[in-house]
Amino acid sequence: MKRVHSSEPLGRLTYHWLDDGTAIVYLRDNIEHRTVETDEGTSEEWVADEVEVRVAMSREEVEEAFDQLWVKGETESKTLARRVEEIEELLDATIAVVLGEDEEV
């Protein structure tokens, strides 16, 4: 996930159909409209959290599956090292529960 800034209003999603039958989709959440003061005066900007996914779905299907695709986009944007780290943390917590340990590992 990344934080994006735009001088144009940001929609909840942007859908780009590709010739191979898939689409690149930019999903946005926590969209904010801000007024920014600069030395040149006042300007407006839109800020949002954004993930990108490649899917073989229609725009309507993407809208219906927004939450699931958001999770997919967040996961795919993580490095392999970060994914492994999260799996290890979950494994440690699971082992602690199975062994009845009171402390977090």
For residue range 49-61, what is the model confidence (pLDDT) as tens digits?
999 999 999 999 9
C-alpha to C-alpha distance for 6 and 46, rounded to whole angstroms: 5
**Token duo for residue 63:** 């809208």
Q: Is the pLDDT of residue 42 over 80?
A: yes
For residue range 56-87, what is the model confidence (pLDDT) as tens digits?
999 999 999 999 999 999 988 778 888 788 88
In this prediction, residues 22-32 reach a mean pLDDT of: 97
In three-state form (DSSP H/G/I as H, E/B as E, the rest C), the secondary structure along 12-43 is: CEEEEECCCCCEEEEEEEEEEEEEEEECCEEE
